[in-house]
Structure 1
Amino acid sequence: MLNTRTEPHTAPLYEFYSRSVAFIAAAATIIFGQDYGLTSDAYHYVLVICAVYPFLTYFAGRAVPENFQPYRRPTLLLTDSLLTGCFIAYLHFAVIPSALFAILVNTSVITLGSFFLWAGSILTMTVGAYVGYIFFQQGIVLDVHPTIEIVAIVGTACHLAVTAFYSAKQNAQLAVLHTKLTLEQKRQQNLSHKVAKYISPQIWESIFSGSKEVKLETQRKKLVVFFSDIKGFTALSEQIESEALTELLNNYLTEMTNIALKYGGTIDKYIGDSIMVFFGDPKTQGAKKDTLACVAMAIEMRRHMKVLRQKWRAQGVQTPLEIRMGINTGYCTVGNFGTESRMDYTIIGKEVNMASRLESAAEAGEILLSHESYALVQDKIICREKGSIAVKGFSRPVPVFEVVDFRHNLGGKSSFIEHDLPGFSMYMDTNRINNYDREKIAKSLEQAAARIKSQARMKG
């Protein structure tokens, strides 16, 4: 007999008004029923119930703890249905008043959108009617005086009007709340995207999805660790202005980060021109596939440096910058380090140190692998033995391997063509050239070849 589409904190007051009007309508119907001989002498007790029940439910509803609020409305609705059944029996099952009171209950239950609650309401109302029939010992009178019917109709109309009024009022409040929540959600999304720029996307995703707890904890996992830096960067920093150097560095880090994310690497940190990436956490494909992904990333980074060098040369940077890289696979400790107020998600362990030492030992353009990494990718990657090197922190020399390229890129079907000579630099991946650009590139190369041959004949 009440509108239930309300929030828990304000629901008791709205429900009180709606329920009060419903039971006032029932009381008025009973009073006129007494005047026209429909109800018995017990109507005084029934009127007391009509007057007291809304107040009891109001105070009881406010006393319900917050965690039980979802059960409050269904319970009260079933109680309303039970009393409604009793009232219908008390009115001798008169057709119009009975139908109207049943409508009051159904309109309130339907707003909850639960079929099982609606079925339960019909059942409890039937039980109430049966109990009332036995208790009041009254027969069935289908036709009653029109005045009683009019009173029931007016009372029902008033209840529906009050219900509609508070529904509209509540809907307006909900609309305002929805707008505020939408704005807050957008604000939180913008804030989370800003925060995401300071941490690796994989870590950000795992935190905001709830799969990782933000607390000081670590675990041991088999990871693939990658280090890289630019050989010649220190010398370059002494030759150009800091603004130009900053732009160049940010461009380099952006390009390399995009490649790392493409292969699923977790960016650990940037240290000047150095990049630290690891594979295998928070998601892993297994040590073999993680290592292969890391090596593939390193190969693409090395190739992409040729493109960047051409771009920087056009901007006036004459120092030939080269990238050097080290990769190692092994068990590391990964997780949150720091304090409860300031944490850093990173990895530590001797395998991390090994990757860093390999990067330091690499020559310009080299990708050095530890034996563990080499063993996992040798079937896909051509590597060259570099012998053993003494590594700080390790008692014995460790064998290292230089990455040459993918095996499928070294045959006749290789898609890469690259030449880098004084006055000439070319890098081409034929698999990535669009069909509609192939003819243009071919004509440009033919024109360049014709000019070179013409100048060679003239000099000859």
Structure 2
Amino acid sequence: MRWPPRSIKNRRPLLCFGTLLAIAAAYLGLARIIYDRFGLLVMVVPTLSTFLASGLCGLGFEYALERLEKLRTRRTLERYVSKNLVKEILDNPGGYYNSMLGSRKPVTVLFSDLVGFTSLSEKADPTVLVSQLNRYLSAMVPMVFDNGGTLDKFIGDAIMAVWGNVSSHGAAEDAKAAVRAALGMRRAMPALNAAWQAEGFKPLAFGIGINHGDAVVGNIGSYEPHERLDPTVIGDAVNLASRLEALTRVYGVDILMGRSAAELVRDDFYLRSIARVQVKGKTEPVEIFTLIGALNDDVDPEFLKWLQAYEEAIVKFRKRDFKGAKILFSHFLEFYPDDALGKMYLASALEYEQSPPDEAWNAVEVFKKK
């Protein structure tokens, strides 16, 4: 797709209308001058009426044509890029194209990917697979648009969405919008799985990674003669969001977010500490969290109560108080015995209590693979 679309003309109806009035006023003034100097009476009303009527009809037709062309262009572009991106292109083309030359902005990035879809694609009927994937994406994408995000791209069964790249409501609001989109995706998945199971298909699950940080925004791609440019974002913040999505499999949760995003949204959402991780390509560890729900969601109050014990246990574990952590994790698991994270940390606390780690230990999980 060529940017900008060549078919969008830069028409200015207000300028044309002003020019029309100026010509009418000039004709009226000229008629007055001719009458005053030469005593000749020039027809004014019929001439001006015809001129203005034809001019207004022409402007009306031109305006209607422009609206139809813009609507047709909007619908065409929305098949390929995000709706808010199309709106910015059509409403503010100059500002948009200048920003797409390359700029650094704080953005919130969301990656979503189906679990085990690659292995499923090797066995499934291609027609059925494409239909199932399109149904999944059709249910997920509205969550991005409804929360003001930009659909950056599809990568197979993965979705990449961005907030703050086209327009921003502030870092905190952008991050909260991304989290609301993730919650919407979580709520939509059970209905999809129920429908698939009724049709004889296996249920699917996804992982979502959310991160906030500075990224480079611009049109990335190749120039002529094989021009293909995509408006996208690149940088460490984007890469980390992708890494967090992959880590959802490791920790058995559906949504993970980095500390930078968590700090922006924690006043509106319940979060749970997961771990300190060092992902491939990063030299510094990142604290990660999972999303429980919004403050106004129907969240089990008993779980929130015992979650405080879990969080206290995490703090003790990181401070090398493995005995205290063991006690608190055990209390938590008495009420939630199937909690995978609680069992994982209890096992680590028991191991470290018997064989303490060396002094260099900092409770950071290092991942050398993507």
Which structure has the bigger radius of gyration?
Answer: 1
**Mapped partners of 2:264, 2:96: distance in 1:** 32
Deviation at 1:206, TM superposition (A): 0.4
Task: Give the total of aligned pairs.
Answer: 278
Counterpart CA distance in 2 for 1:361 and 1:346 is: 23
**Other-structure match for 1:258:** 142
Post-superposition CA distance 1:53-100 (Å, at most 9, x none) = xxxxxxxxxxxxxxx998566445423321212343xxxxxxxxx8xx
Q: How far did residue 188 of structure 1 move?
A: 5.5
Match of 2:241 in 1: 355
Q: 1:286 aligns with which of 141, 166, 170?
A: 170
Distance of 1:248 and 1:361 partners within structure 2: 25
| 2:299 aligned residue | 410
Report matched runs for 1:43-442 at 5 Å: 74-88=25-39, 101=41, 104-109=43-48, 186=68, 189-211=71-93, 212-214=95-97, 217-318=101-202, 320-339=203-222, 341-363=227-249, 365-408=253-296, 409-411=298-300
Q: Contact 1:223/1:287 (CA < 8 Å) preserved in 2?
A: yes
Q: For 1:203 and 1:188, how far apart are their aligned partners in 2? A: 14
1:365 offset after TM fit, Å? 4.5
* C-alpha contact (below 8 Å) 1:217/1:337 kept by paired residues: no
CA distance in 2, matches of 1:283, 1:180: 30
1:210-264 CA distances to partner (integer Å, 9 max, x unpaired)? 2534365121111111101010212221332010000010111111001111111
> How many Å separate the matches in 2 of 1:224 and 1:387?
21
Q: What's the TM-score, normalizing by structure 1?
A: 0.54
CA drift of 1:106 comes to 4.6
User: What residue is the counterpart of 1:451 in the other structure?
Assistant: none
Percent identity for Structure 1 against Structure 2: 32
Higher helix share: 1
Provide the residue aligned with 2:6 in structure 1: none
> Is the CA contact (8 Å cut-off) linking 1:323 and 1:365 kept in structure 2?
no
Residues 278 and 413 of structure 1: CA distance in aligned 2, closer, same or farther (over 3 Å): farther
1:197 alignment partner AA: R
3-state secondary structure, aligned to 1:362: helix
Structure 1 residue 316 displacement after superposition? 1.3
Letter of the 1:353 counterpart: N
Counterpart residue identity of residue 209, structure 1: D
Give the letter aligned to residue 44 of structure 2: V
1:328 CA drift (Å): 0.6
- How far did 1:366 drift? 1.8
Could you tell me how far apart the structure 1 residues matched to 2:170 and 2:74 are?
30
**1:200–1:267 contact (8 Å) kept in structure 2:** yes
RMSD, matched Cα: 3.2
Match of 1:201, as an amino acid? K
What displacement does 1:382 show?
A: 1.8
Residue 246 and residue 77 in structure 1: after superposition, are their counterparts in 2 closer, same or farther (change >3 A)? same
* Partner Cα separation in structure 2 for residue 180 and residue 75 of structure 1: 24
Within 1, Cα distance between the matches of 2:207 and 2:178?
14
Deviations 1:399-425 (A, max 9, x none): 1111122233325699xxxxxxxxxxx
Give the whole-Å Cα distance in 2 for the aligned partners of 1:111 and 1:260. 52
Q: Specify which structure has the bigger relative contact order, considering alpha-carbon pairs within 8 angstroms and separated by 6 or more residues.
A: 2
Native 8 Å contact 1:322 1:365 kept in 2: no
Q: Distance in 2 between matches of 1:289 and 1:184?
A: 34
Q: Distance in 2 between matches of 1:306 and 1:221?
A: 35
Question: Aligned partner of 2:114: which letter?
Answer: I
What CA distance in whole angstroms lies between the structure 1 residues aligned with 2:300 and 2:68? Answer: 52
